[in-house]
């Protein structure tokens, strides 16, 4: 018989603000991560500090923000009004304290709850805030939210504004590092949404003259556009859109009050509906919504009074109204697009003709694929019943409102032994496994038809739930887990080709990764070190002398499930697959997967020799 546990006054305890944040960081910054994903917590920390700078810019105070990252220390300096000197300590260390509760001053602010910089403070091993106003400076320093130094107010010749410097606590953010591409993307987005703003990052200057039009020009090359970007602006709304010649799926960028709402929300739903409705009415044709939106590349930004987001990290808008006594988001967005997009198409018949041809082409392709799709869906449904390929995770069964949890991961692996090791050692709550059978098909140059006809790709598409809409993606992280040998590299390349060819937005939005697994295990009786490179092996031997035992892992299947837990748990190492900038995906695929040209041979010799040496 189980002994009844005691529940008394001793079980009740109150946490102060910093203890609560450090104990439950996910409530404030989402997932922790190691910096391999753009929504990892270390980037949210930077964003929380930047949001305050942006609010100053919006209020007309300070046109330049300086961001410096050296090693793991981040410094953000604005030239706004500066924090009132008597409140410098409170603003960064007392919950529900800030200037944004004054709705007159911050009607359309990004953050309204007074939590942001407090979370950064509490989750940093070092945190310093400086404020300059009226030729006076006040500064304070903290560690893990605890005040360690409060400087006296002194005279200064510095320009007014606020500077925050912090180092994220490596006991909370383990093995983390900043990925430059993610930082640059974040800073560019701030510039696209705030024309006239200059951000200087480690000496590099970012500024945007054309807002969301510049964003799309960074996203899609001119040669891949069906027609030039349509760019429309109004009070509290801006949109930009075009259609791609080569992309199959839809691609959206959405923003609210300068915040990148990566999971969309009411404004993005309204945008999709309004585009379809307006185009149907313009052509007076009852087109399928999927035919209109196929291959669309677009962006929308709205400004909402006192926005309500569905999480502290503000990635999804929940507000249904533009603000008190204002129209609904849906009505506002629809009315703007109905008037302005319709006018644009009437004034630009060459664009209207190109768009019509694209819609009719999508319609033809959909009808050609309709029979194949039905058979493919039936096959996928039968296969899932027998659970041959996919070992799912529980998060999808327990959280119907948020099927794509930030923690949810799908490992794509090859072979029974490798998939068996991962399946046995995974976290069944958040980690799923999809098993490939041998090397996948090279899809370079093939049409979407192959995705439905090929059993592997059809079942993978069904597992990811991306057949109809990328927004329905079931897993936040898609991880290629292959052996660290030549065959494993080939499988990775074939899978990356598949995603680039048919679902490039998964890569552009930072969902695709490569699992890094150790090449060597070096151990003695007291300690075991897993090494991911030859240099790490040398360092480990030096540390564990004399003569430790050295094991070379040739494949994932050789690593026992007990050991595998170390590599896909807290200390998981993921390398994101990135597209550095807008480049022609068609040309990229042709270079890697087309005819064996001298240029590609030279590239392989120059860039892959080191990787191949590791696995000999």
Report pLDDT digits (tens) over 305-327: 877 777 666 777 887 877 777 88
Contact predicate 492/482, CB 8 Å: yes
- The domain total for the chain is 3
Mean pLDDT, residues 236-241 taken together: 95
- How much is the pLDDT for 401? 45
Report the CATH number at residue 306. Answer: 3.30.230.10
Instruction: Specify if 378 maps to a domain.
Output: no
Return mean pLDDT, the chain.
84
- How much is the pLDDT for 577? 87
User: Over the stretch 396-431, which tens digit does the pLDDT of each residue have?
Assistant: 544 444 445 677 899 999 877 778 888 888 988 889
Which of 297, 331, 365 is the endpoint of a domain?
365
Contact predicate 295/247, CB 8 Å: yes
User: Over the stretch 578-592, which tens digit does the pLDDT of each residue have?
Assistant: 876 555 666 666 666
- How much is the pLDDT for 470? 75
Contact predicate 65/78, CB 8 Å: yes
What are the backbone angles phi and psi of residue 469, rounded to the nearest 5°? Answer: -155, 130
Question: How far is it, in rounded angstroms, from Cα 376 to Cα 362?
Answer: 19
Query: Measuring CA to CA, how many Å separate 23 from each of 7, 115, 200, 321?
Result: 21, 15, 34, 34
Same domain, 356 and 442: no
Same domain, 336 and 219: yes
Same domain, 573 and 465: yes
Tokens 């590349």 correspond to 297
Highest-confidence segment of 160-164, 427-431, 439-443: 160-164
- How much is the pLDDT for 570? 78
- How much is the pLDDT for 107? 59
How many other CB atoms sit within 10 Å of the CB of residue 448? 18
Which of 207, 235, 262 is the endpoint of a domain?
207
Same domain, 263 and 361: yes
Given pLDDT bands bounded at 50, 70 and 90, which one contains residue 380? low
Instruction: Specify if 150 maps to a domain.
Output: yes
Contact predicate 9/232, CB 8 Å: no
pTM over 0.85: no
Query: In the 8-state DSSP scheme, what is residue 5?
Result: P
Same domain, 225 and 126: no
Instruction: Specify if 131 maps to a domain.
Output: yes
User: Over the stretch 345-366, which tens digit does the pLDDT of each residue have?
Assistant: 999 999 999 999 999 999 998 8
Which of 142, 173, 207 is the endpoint of a domain?
207
Instruction: Specify if 374 maps to a domain.
Output: no
Cis amide prior to 228 (ω within 30 degrees): no
Instruction: Specify if 110 maps to a domain.
Output: yes
- How much is the pLDDT for 405? 66
Lowest mean pLDDT among 92-101, 401-410, 482-491: 92-101
Query: In the 8-state DSSP scheme, what is residue 85?
Result: G
Same domain, 186 and 68: yes
- How much is the pLDDT for 197? 95
Instruction: Specify if 33 maps to a domain.
Output: yes
Q: Is 204 exposed, middle or buried (CB count within 10 Å of its CB: 0-12, 13-18, 19+)?
A: exposed
Instruction: Specify if 535 maps to a domain.
Output: no
- How much is the pLDDT for 111? 52
- How much is the pLDDT for 505? 83
Instruction: Specify if 12 maps to a domain.
Output: no
Given pLDDT bands bounded at 50, 70 and 90, which one contains residue 601? low
- How much is the pLDDT for 172? 92
Question: How far is it, in rounded angstroms, from Cα 612 to Cα 43?
Answer: 33
pLDDT over threshold 70, residue 540 = yes
- How much is the pLDDT for 398? 43
User: Over the stretch 118-153, which tens digit does the pLDDT of each residue have?
Assistant: 999 999 999 999 999 999 999 999 999 999 999 999
Containing structural domain, residue 154: 17-207
């Amino acid at each position: 018989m189980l002994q009844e546990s005691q529940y008394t006054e001793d079980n009740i305890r109150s946490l102060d603000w910093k203890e609560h944040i450090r104990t439950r960081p996910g409530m404030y910054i989402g997932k922790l991560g190691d910096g391999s994903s753009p929504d990892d917590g270390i980037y949210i920390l930077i964003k929380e500090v930047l949001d305050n700078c942006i609010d100053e810019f919006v209020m007309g105070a300070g046109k330049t923000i300086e961001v410096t990252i050296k090693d793991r220390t981040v410094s953000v300096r604005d030239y706004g009004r500066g924090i009132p000197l008597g409140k410098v300590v409170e603003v960064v260390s007392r919950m529900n304290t800030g200037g944004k509760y004054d709705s007159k001053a911050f009607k359309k602010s990004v953050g309204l709850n007074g939590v942001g910089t407090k979370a950064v403070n509490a989750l940093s091993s070092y945190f310093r805030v400086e404020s300059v106003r009226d030729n006076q400076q006040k500064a304070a320093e903290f560690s893990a939210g605890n005040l360690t130094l409060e400087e006296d107010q002194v005279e200064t010749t510095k320009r007014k504004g606020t500077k925050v410097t912090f180092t994220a606590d490596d006991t909370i953010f383990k093995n983390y590092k900043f990925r430059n591409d993610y930082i640059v993307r974040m800073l560019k987005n701030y510039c696209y949404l705030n024309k006239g703003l200059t951000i200087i990052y480690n000496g590099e200057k970012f500024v945007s003259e054309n807002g969301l039009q510049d964003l799309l020009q960074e996203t899609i090359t001119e040669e891949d556009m069906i027609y030039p970007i349509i760019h429309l602006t109004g009070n509290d709304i801006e949109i930009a859109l075009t259609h791609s010649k080569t992309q199959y799926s839809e691609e959206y960028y959405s923003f609210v009050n300068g915040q990148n709402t990566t999971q969309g929300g009411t404004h993005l739903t309204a945008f999709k509906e309004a585009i379809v409705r307006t185009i149907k009415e313009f052509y007076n044709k009852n087109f399928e919504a999927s035919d209109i939106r196929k291959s669309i590349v677009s962006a929308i930004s709205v400004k909402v009074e006192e926005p309500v987001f569905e999480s502290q990290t503000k990635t999804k808008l929940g507000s249904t109204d533009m603000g008190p006594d204002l129209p609904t988001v849906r009505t506002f967005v629809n009315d703007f697009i109905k008037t302005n997009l319709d006018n644009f198409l009437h004034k630009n018949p060459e664009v209207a003709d190109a768009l019509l041809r694209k819609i009719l082409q999508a319609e033809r392709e959909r009808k050609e694929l309709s029979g194949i799709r039905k058979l493919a869906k039936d096959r996928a449904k039968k296969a899932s019943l027998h659970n041959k390929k996919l070992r799912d995770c529980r998060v999808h069964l327990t959280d119907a409102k948020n099927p794509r949890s930030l923690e949810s991961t799908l490992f794509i692996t090859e072979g029974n032994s490798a998939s068996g090791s991962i399946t046995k050692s995974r976290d069944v709550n958040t980690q799923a496994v999809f098993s490939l059978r041998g090397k996948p098909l090279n899809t370079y140059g093939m049409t979407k038809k192959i995705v439905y006809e090929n059993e592997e790709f059809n079942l993978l598409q069904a597992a990811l739930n991306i057949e109809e809409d990328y927004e329905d993606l079931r897993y936040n992280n898609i991880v290629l887990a292959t052996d660290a040998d030549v065959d494993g590299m080939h499988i990775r390349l074939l899978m990356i080709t598949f995603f680039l060819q048919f679902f490039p937005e998964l890569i552009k939005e930072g969902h695709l990764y490569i699992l890094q697994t150790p090449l060597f295990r070096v151990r003695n009786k007291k300690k075991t070190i897993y090494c991911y490179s030859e240099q790490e092996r040398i360092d480990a031997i030096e540390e564990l002398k004399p003569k430790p035992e050295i094991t070379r892992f040739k494949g994932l299947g050789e690593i026992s499930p007990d050991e595998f837990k170390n590599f896909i748990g807290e200390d998981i190492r993921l390398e994101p697959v990135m597209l550095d900038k807008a480049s022609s995906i068609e040309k990229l695929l042709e270079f890697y997967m087309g005819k064996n040209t001298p240029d590609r041979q030279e590239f392989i010799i120059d860039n892959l020799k080191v990787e191949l040496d590791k696995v000999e």
